[in-house]
């Protein structure tokens, strides 16, 4: 069984609580990992280590040297690529190819890109007039915020954690990471990477545990933590915001979604089917940017539903490296039960179940895993819980629409506002729609195509703030203005 400990001041430690908890494999629910559970003492130790790092070599390190170190981190992740793929696969049960092509390469990229950003992005300068005619010069300098609490979820653990750790370190901060209790592996491996490339002790710390009254809450409440960056559910964000109010600490939140896919009759049909399929079912639907509401222009509605059904019925469930398998389980029994409860609710609410709606037949070995069928519904009103609430599973509801104005208003009728994906060959319409849909990210004829220099984040209850490129610098540094009278 894998043993996962905290990583504090450059050392792996079980801490002092004496408590450990178990992680079960999503594939069959056998216990695969024992994880140290952190308490206040571990969070105190991690904060002290991070403060020491800021006061020491790390705090004084020239940017160029820090940038080289982040490149070395990225290279070491790439060198240990197979270990990262294996570690993340064990935690999530998702197919190897998703780790190999999306999640782990993005982890390395998250360090490289922000190393480049910090090296290349200037600060502002303003010359001003003064009554004596001599003028004054203003310029900005960026300083790190200090100690950043990073609270991350289980659905793309390494990608999402490094999406915050990369820029935080590029900006010269120290971090305390609390990975999801479901997915501790890659955060621990990253500790080994930090030591291997000589990142000073205490710059990167990991405390494992849960949220409320555990490591998560203690990090967000700790007065020695200067800012908190969080990805996860909207209601967790609410709790963290309350904790951050104490000491008026800054927050950056990436939260839930109930994202709309919009398909016009003039789209490239095959590309749209594939794109919507990916957006609804990648990672077994456990993607915040995923599409759980799909609106299809009426002339192609029936054909589109039939094509999506065929794709959904062609998935092959199995272990991450099984030959021919391309579809994994949900993260936990609890999450499986939640998703299945929505499957039951859809039927109660009067949905037509186009495909799925239950648990697939699995071999005896895997029957205990968290498997659910990709599921497609039609026929529900927009008021149905299944159409309004984030399910975070492999499912979507399809509804026909007749006009651009109608579909904009359907897409916007939600408390969330993370992303949308629009499929059309009419580019004027695509641009018009992009400006009218209340989301942080609009993809046109694509989905989850990521340029890490762009602003990423959600509107409404999907988030606070933007990260990515210079936007990450805005959160992970403070700009000080220097005014010089000439």
Ligand X SMILES: O=C/C=C/C=C(\O)C(=O)O
The question of whether 389 is a catalytic residue gets the answer no
Q: Out of 28, 42, 217, 292, name the contact with ligand NAD by CB under 6 A.
A: 217
Q: How far is the CB of 309 from ligand X (least distance, A)?
A: 25
The rounded distance, in Å, linking the Cα atoms of 406 and 241 is: 35
Q: Out of 50, 188, 240, 260, name the contact with ligand NAD by CB under 6 A.
A: 240
The rounded distance, in Å, linking the Cα atoms of 195 and 298 is: 57
Residues 423-452 that bind ligand X (CB under 6 A): 450
Binding mask 360-399 for ligand X (x = CB under 6 A): ----------------------------------------
* Position 424 contacts ligand NAD (CB under 6 A): no
Closer CB to ligand NAD, residue 211 or residue 374?
211
Partners of 147 in the beta sheet? 174
Q: Out of 54, 175, 288, 391, name the contact with ligand X by CB under 6 A.
A: 288
Closer CB to ligand NAD, residue 108 or residue 243?
243
Q: Out of 212, 323, 324, 364, name the contact with ligand NAD by CB under 6 A.
A: 212
* Position 153 contacts ligand NAD (CB under 6 A): yes
Closer CB to ligand X, residue 167 or residue 211?
167
Sole residue written with tokens 């651009």: 404
Residue from 106, 226, 195 nearest 156 by CA: 106
Strands 419-423 and 441-444, bridge-based pairing: parallel
Dihedral of alpha carbons 208, 212, 214, 217, sign: positive
Sorted by sequence, the CB contacts under 8 Å of residue 324 that are 6+ apart come out as 316, 318
Instruction: Give the pair of three-digit tokens for residue 116.
Output: 């480049």
Strands annotated E in 273-384? 291-297, 352-355, 375-378
Sole residue written with tokens 């090296």: 119
Q: How far is the CB of 211 from ligand NAD (least distance, A)?
A: 2
Distances (CA, A) of 312 to 81, 127, 281, 355, 416: 30, 60, 8, 8, 26
Q: Out of 178, 278, 397, 471, name the contact with ligand NAD by CB under 6 A.
A: 178
Closer CB to ligand NAD, residue 211 or residue 275?
211
* Position 28 contacts ligand NAD (CB under 6 A): no
Alpha helices in 181-262 (DSSP H): 185-197, 215-221, 234-245
Out of ligand NAD, ligand X, none, what residue 458 binds, judged by CB under 5 to 8 A for its kind, is ligand NAD
Q: Out of 58, 111, 154, 163, name the contact with ligand X by CB under 6 A.
A: 163
The catalytic residue among 181, 254, 292, 349 is: 254
Instruction: Count the neighbouring beta carbons within 10 Å of the beta carbon of residue 369.
Output: 24
Closer CB to ligand X, residue 159 or residue 194?
159
DSSP string, 354-406: EE--S-----TTTTTS-----EEEE---TTSHHHHS---SSEEEEEEE--HHH
Closer CB to ligand NAD, residue 154 or residue 295?
154
Residues 455-474 that bind ligand X (CB under 6 A): 456
Dihedral of alpha carbons 280, 285, 287, 293, sign: positive
Q: How far is CA 18 from the centre of its chain?
A: 31
* Position 160 contacts ligand X (CB under 6 A): yes
Judged by the rule CB under 6 A, the positions of this chain that interact with ligand X are: 155-156, 160, 163, 254, 287-289, 450, 456
Judged by the rule CB under 6 A, the positions of this chain that interact with ligand NAD are: 151-155, 160, 178, 180-181, 210-212, 216-217, 220, 231-233, 236, 239-240, 254-257, 288, 390, 392, 418, 458, 462-463
Catalytic positions, written as ranges: 254
């Amino acid at each position: 069984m894998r043993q996962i400990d905290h990583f504090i001041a450059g050392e792996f430690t079980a801490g002092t609580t004496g408590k450990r908890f178990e992680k079960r494999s999503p594939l069959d629910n056998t216990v695969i990992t024992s994880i140290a559970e952190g308490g206040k003492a571990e969070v105190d130790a991690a904060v002290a280590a991070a403060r020491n790092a800021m006061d020491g070599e790390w705090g004084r390190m020239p940017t160029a040297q820090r940038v080289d170190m982040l490149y070395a981190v990225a290279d070491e992740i790439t060198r240990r690529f197979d270990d990262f793929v294996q570690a993340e696969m064990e935690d999530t049960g998702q197919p190897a190819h998703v780790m190999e092509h999306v999640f782990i390469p993005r982890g390395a990229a998250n360090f490289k890109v922000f190393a480049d950003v910090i090296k290349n992005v200037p600060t502002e300068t303003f010359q001003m007039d003064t009554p004596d005619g001599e003028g004054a010069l203003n310029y900005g300098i960026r300083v790190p915020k200090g100690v950043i609490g990073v609270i991350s979820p289980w659905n793309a653990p390494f990608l999402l954690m490094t999406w915050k750790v990369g820029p935080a370190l590029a900006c010269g901060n120290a971090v305390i990471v609390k990975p999801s209790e479901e997915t501790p592996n890659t955060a621990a491996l990253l500790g080994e990477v930090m030591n291997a490339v000589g990142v000073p002790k205490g710059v990167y710390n990991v405390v494992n545990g849960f949220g409320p009254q555990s490591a998560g809450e203690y990090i967000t409440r700790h007065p020695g933590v200067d800012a908190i960056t969080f990805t996860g559910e909207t209601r967790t964000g609410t709790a963290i915001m309350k904790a951050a109010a104490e000491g008026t600490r800054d927050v950056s939140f990436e939260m839930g979604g109930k994202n709309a896919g919009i398909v016009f009759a003039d789209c490239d049909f095959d590309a749209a089917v594939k794109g919507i399929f990916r957006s609804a079912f990648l990672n077994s639907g456990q993607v915040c940017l995923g599409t759980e509401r799909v609106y299809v222009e009426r002339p192609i509605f029936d054909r589109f539903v039939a094509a999506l059904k065929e794709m959904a019925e062609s998935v092959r469930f199995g272990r991450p490296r099984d030959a021919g398998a391309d579809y994994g389980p949900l993260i936990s029994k609890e999450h499986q039960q939640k998703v299945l409860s929505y499957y039951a609710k859809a039927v109660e609410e009067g949905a037509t179940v186009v495909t799925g709606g239950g648990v697939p037949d699995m071999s005896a070995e895997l029957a205990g895993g968290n498997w659910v069928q990709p599921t497609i519904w039609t026929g529900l009103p927009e008021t149905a819980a299944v159409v309004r609430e984030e399910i975070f599973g492999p499912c979507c509801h399809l509804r026909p629409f007749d006009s651009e104005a109608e579909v904009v208003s359907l897409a916007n009728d939600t408390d969330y506002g993370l992303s949308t994906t629009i499929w059309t060959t009419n580019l004027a319409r695509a641009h018009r729609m992009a400006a009218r849909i209340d989301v942080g990210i609009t993809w046109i004829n694509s989905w989850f195509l990521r340029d890490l220099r762009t602003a990423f984040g959600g509107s409404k209850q999907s988030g606070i703030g933007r990260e990515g490129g210079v936007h990450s610098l805005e959160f992970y540094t403070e700009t000080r203005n220097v005014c010089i009278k000439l």
